[in-house]
């Protein structure tokens, strides 16, 4: 087994920090954010009920936002094995990961003068404090230079050795292109061979991002599996050109292929591997490129298969692209550059120019298509289609009349302070919509599925008792439905009433879909659930021939109910509550528009009291609610805001008298008040007409 220098061993072990966190500390490292960090997990140093630690791929550390502590693998090994010095920790890491390190005496000789062994990786300053520096020995000049502890200085050191190799010239690459990307050379790159033996390469070092690089074996006889090695987190080479290029950007497989495109005057990004296609798509999903993309993967079977995957993703993200292989008879861009440089340069320049002209023409046509005249026929077609598309009735005649027939496509926000029955009212509307033959998708972010079901069955017990003229004391609350030990004390009439109420609920329960969540359902998941519902009920994706746009056709469009708005999972953990609520409102509005369905979002009020008349001011905590909602509804006790109103007396009433106030109605009248009797024990509302 090959022997590693101490510096090399330290770096190799540090690369295993994420592995150590997972295997030794039981941390689940999920996902990768755009800033190079994982999703949060619980900190090791304090009680962390709201996870505040994350893994930094760039720093190769676990970092806590709350206590500001951080741990790399050596800190963790030190804590777990009681080792206080870095050399001890490196030795333990080498033992854990099967690495053989040079003897300390050999290290001293190599450092010249036989000095005592330093704290590798973290030298102590004159006060005994550790500094973020290490001593790197340049094997070419034999000069020691202190470097900031990061991979970037390693690139800089390697770039100084670039003159020691003629490999880049053999691949048709100029020094100017190489220096622009800080390409370097390492004559003693340590790695494992394809047959798992430690070997030394003469390698071209290609930085792919902060904390990452690709080592390219310069030995022309190297086998396929011994040509490249990746270090650090996966990165897309030269990805910044996606947002800075002045011409279409080529997407190629290898970093050297991307450099070859640049050598020919084009702009390019290198995947590094076709396995990095999902990473590229994730980057593009977060931010669209400034120029169209030219998909130009390798001219072989693997390249063609990968092209299909990439193109499918670009179409899903609606990113303009062209498929082109300007390599002629050659396998890839670099082979074409070496094989016929002048022809390749002409091909790249011509392709970029043609694609750019075509993109400008398409952009012109797209803009002209936004004129009202271009949409007259679609407007008329929409009117014709709406003949068979009526409003969804709420089941409350007065409310339907106020809303001009019921619920239409758009965002309806219903707000109230606690105990006025906003969830019970909307749940009853959902049940009545389902009973009328429509699908209802409920996202219950606070109550469980069974809590909602018990509320509905409880409502049916009071409804049936009233309809039959029976004693309403036989009706059951939600707790009375779900508490099995009470059933032994129920008489035959009560038991039959529960059975009949359950049967009544069962008649439409197949059209009610309840998704539970406790702070873990965000707007993206809501969109996915709506899409899944439509696809699962007969919908399918179709592509418009003229525009290439994809849309969902067919399927059943549900009434979407979100209970409630303020506990939708944050879109951004660093944003304020108001910013996250604003984002949630805008996305719910977009969902209603994209899928042509009504969305009811329940909102809570914190600063309003029972004496006040409900108004749009109560929604001010999130400005987007007020401005983005198509219909804005508030609930209040009858008479709230009037002289002599006593909320305590009103709350004691059974049933309570509640008013629904239409504060905003984008396509109808506002100010109407619909009166309800609310049997709070049984979650039941009855329509009492308009208030005077």
Residue keyed to tokens 């040079």: 102
Provide the token pair at 460: 């049916």
pLDDT, residue 128, reads: 36
Q: Is the pLDDT of residue 659 over 60?
A: yes
Q: How far apart are CA 448 and CA 458, in angstroms?
A: 15
Quick: pLDDT tens for 610-657.
788 888 887 766 667 888 899 999 999 998 888 888 888 888 888 999
Q: Is the pLDDT of residue 383 over 60?
A: no
pLDDT, residue 563, reads: 87
Worst-scoring range by mean pLDDT, 130-134, 276-280, 445-449, 588-592?
130-134
pLDDT, residue 443, reads: 93
Q: How far apart are CA 599 and CA 278, in angstroms?
A: 32
Q: How far apart are CA 322 and CA 333, in angstroms?
A: 16
Average pLDDT over residues 254-258: 94
Distances in Å between the Cα of 489 and the Cα atoms of 438, 455, 486 are: 38, 21, 6
Q: Is the pLDDT of residue 138 over 60?
A: no
Find all residues with CB under 8 Å of 308, minimum gap 6, and list them. Answer: none
Confidence of residue 600 (pLDDT cuts 50, 70, 90): very high
Confidence of residue 546 (pLDDT cuts 50, 70, 90): low
CATH, range 6-130:
3.90.580.10
If we measure between CA atoms, which residue out of 256, 272, 355, 271 comes closest to residue 310? 271
Find all residues with CB under 8 Å of 685, minimum gap 6, and list them. Answer: 396, 421, 424, 425, 428, 658, 676, 677, 678, 679
pLDDT, residue 132, reads: 33
Q: Is the pLDDT of residue 143 over 50?
A: no
pLDDT, residue 271, reads: 93
Confidence of residue 153 (pLDDT cuts 50, 70, 90): very low
Query: Reduced to 3 states, what is the DSSP secondary structure of residue 129?
Result: coil
The pTM (predicted TM-score) of the whole model is 0.52
pLDDT, residue 454, reads: 93
Average pLDDT over residues 241-246: 89
If we measure between CA atoms, which residue out of 266, 272, 333, 256 comes closest to residue 293? 266
Find all residues with CB under 8 Å of 547, minimum gap 6, and list them. Answer: none
Query: Reduced to 3 states, what is the DSSP secondary structure of residue 608?
Result: coil
Provide the token pair at 645: 């109103």
Q: How far apart are CA 488 and CA 482, in angstroms?
A: 13
Worst-scoring range by mean pLDDT, 180-194, 402-416, 434-448?
180-194
Confidence of residue 463 (pLDDT cuts 50, 70, 90): very high
Average pLDDT over residues 215-225: 88
Q: Got the DSSP string for 335-351?
A: HHHHH-HHHHHHHHHHH
Q: How far apart are CA 317 and CA 549, in angstroms?
A: 11
Evaluate whether 6-130 and 390-690 have a shared fold. no
Q: How far apart are CA 304 and CA 354, in angstroms?
A: 23
Confidence of residue 661 (pLDDT cuts 50, 70, 90): very high
Q: Is the pLDDT of residue 294 over 60?
A: yes
Quick: pLDDT tens for 26-58.
787 877 776 678 888 888 776 666 788 888 887
CATH, range 236-368:
3.40.1360.10
Q: What backbone phi and psi angles, to 5 degrees, belong to 409?
A: -55, 130
Q: Is the pLDDT of residue 145 over 60?
A: no
Q: What percent of the chain has pLDDT over 90?
A: 35
pLDDT, residue 116, reads: 42
Provide the token pair at 319: 């990113």
- Higher-pLDDT residue of 302, 519: 302
Find all residues with CB under 8 Å of 458, minimum gap 6, and list them. Answer: 475, 476, 477, 478, 480, 481, 501, 682, 683, 684
pLDDT, residue 34, reads: 61
Q: How far apart are CA 437 and CA 440, in angstroms?
A: 10
- Higher-pLDDT residue of 238, 380: 238
Q: Are 513 and 443 in contact (CB under 8 A)?
A: no
pLDDT, residue 681, reads: 92
Q: Is the pLDDT of residue 333 over 60?
A: yes
- List the chain domain ranges: 6-130, 150-233, 236-368, 390-690
Average pLDDT over residues 549-562: 88
Q: How far apart are CA 86 and CA 78, in angstroms?
A: 8
Q: Is the pLDDT of residue 479 over 60?
A: yes
598-604 β-sheet, strand order: 512-516, 440-444, 559-563, 598-604, 410-416, 631-637, 656-665, 673-679, 684-690
Average pLDDT over residues 137-159: 41
Q: How far apart are CA 136 and CA 85, in angstroms?
A: 19
Q: Are 127 and 121 in contact (CB under 8 A)?
A: no
Task: Please state, rounded to an integer, the average pLDDT across all residues of the chain.
Answer: 83
Query: Reduced to 3 states, what is the DSSP secondary structure of residue 251?
Result: strand
Q: What backbone phi and psi angles, to 5 degrees, belong to 541?
A: -80, 135
Worst-scoring range by mean pLDDT, 303-312, 356-365, 370-379, 386-395?
370-379
User: Domain 390-690 falls in which CATH fold?
Assistant: Rossmann fold (3.40.50)
Q: Give the start-end residues of each E strand in 177-274.
A: 184-192, 198-209, 212-217, 228-231, 249-252, 267-270
Average pLDDT over residues 518-523: 75
Confidence of residue 125 (pLDDT cuts 50, 70, 90): very low
């Amino acid at each position: 087994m090959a022997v590693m220098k101490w510096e090399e061993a330290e770096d190799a072990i540090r690369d295993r920090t994420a592995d150590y966190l997972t295997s030794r500390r039981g941390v689940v490292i999920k996902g990768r954010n755009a800033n190079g960090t994982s999703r949060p997990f619980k900190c090791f140093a304090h009680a962390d009920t709201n996870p505040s630690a994350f893994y930094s791929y760039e720093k190769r550390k676990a970092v806590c936002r709350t206590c500001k502590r951080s741990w790399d693998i050596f800190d963790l090994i030190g804590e777990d094995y009681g080792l206080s010095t870095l050399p001890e920790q490196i030795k333990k890491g080498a033992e854990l990961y099967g690495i053989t390190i040079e003897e300390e005496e050999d290290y001293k000789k190599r450092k010249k003068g036989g000095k005592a062994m330093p704290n590798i990786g973290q030298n102590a300053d004159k006060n005994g404090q550790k500094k973020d520096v290490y001593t790197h020995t340049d094997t070419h000049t034999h000069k020691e230079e202190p470097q900031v502890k990061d991979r970037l200085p390693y690139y800089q050191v390697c770039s100084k050795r670039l003159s020691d190799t003629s490999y880049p010239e053999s691949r048709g690459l100029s020094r100017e292109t190489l220096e622009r990307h800080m390409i370097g050379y390492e004559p003693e790159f340590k790695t494992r061979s394809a047959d798992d033996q430690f070997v030394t390469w003469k390698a071209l070092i290609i930085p792919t991002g902060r904390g990452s690089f690709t080592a390219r074996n310069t030995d022309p006889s190297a086998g396929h599996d011994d040509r490249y090695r990746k270090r650090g987190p996966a990165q897309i080479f030269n990805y910044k050109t996606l947002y800075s290029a002045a011409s279409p950007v080529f997407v190629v497989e290898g970093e050297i292929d991307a450099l070859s495109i640049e050598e020919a005057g084009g702009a390019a990004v290198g995947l590094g591997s076709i396995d990095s296609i999902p990473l590229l798509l994730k980057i593009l999903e977060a931010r669209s490129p400034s120029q169209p993309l030219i998909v130009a993967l390798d001219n072989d079977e693997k390249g063609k298969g990968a092209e299909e995957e990439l193109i499918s993703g670009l179409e899903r993200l609606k990113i303009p692209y062209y498929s082109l292989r300007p390599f002629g008879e050659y396998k890839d861009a670099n082979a074409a550059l070496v094989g016929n440089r002048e022809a390749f340069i002409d091909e790249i320049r011509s392709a970029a120019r043609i694609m750019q002209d075509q993109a400008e023409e398409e952009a012109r046509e797209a803009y002209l298509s936004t004129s009202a005249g271009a949409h007259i026929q679609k407007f008329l077609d929409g009117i014709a289609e709406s003949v068979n598309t009526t409003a969804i009735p709420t089941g409350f005649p007065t409310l339907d009349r106020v809303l001009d027939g019921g619920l239409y496509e758009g965002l309806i926000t219903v707000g109230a302070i606690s105990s006025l029955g906003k969830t019970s009212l909307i749940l009853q509307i959902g049940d009545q919509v389902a009973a009328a033959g429509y699908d209802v998708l409920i996202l219950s972010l606070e109550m469980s599925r069974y809590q909602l079901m018990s509320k509905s069955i409880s409502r049916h017990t009071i409804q049936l008792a009233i309809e039959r003229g029976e004693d309403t004391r036989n009706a059951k609350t939600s707790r009375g439905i779900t508490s099995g030990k009470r059933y032994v004390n129920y008489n035959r009439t009560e038991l039959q009433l529960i059975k009949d109420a359950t049967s009544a609920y069962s008649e439409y329960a197949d059209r009610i879909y309840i998704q539970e969540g406790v702070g873990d359902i965000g707007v993206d998941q809501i969109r996915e659930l709506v899409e899944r519902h439509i696809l699962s009920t007969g919908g399918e994706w179709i592509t418009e021939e003229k525009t290439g746009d994809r849309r969902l056709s067919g399927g059943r469009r549900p009434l979407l109910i979100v209970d409630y708005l303020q506990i939708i999972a944050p879109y951004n953990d660093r944003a304020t509550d108001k910013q996250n609520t604003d984002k949630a409102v805008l996305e719910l509005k977009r969902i209603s528009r994209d899928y042509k369905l009504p969305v009811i979002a329940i909102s809570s009020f914190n600063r309003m009291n029972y004496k006040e008349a409900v108004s749009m001011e109560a929604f001010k905590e999130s400005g987007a609610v007020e401005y983005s909602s198509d219909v804005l509804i508030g609930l209040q006790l009858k008479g709230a805001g009037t002289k002599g109103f006593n909320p305590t007396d009103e709350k004691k009433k059974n049933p309570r008298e509640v008013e629904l106030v239409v504060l905003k109605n984008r396509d109808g009248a506002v100010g109407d008040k619909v009166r309800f009797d609310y049997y709070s024990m049984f979650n039941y509302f009855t329509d009492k007409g308009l208030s005077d």
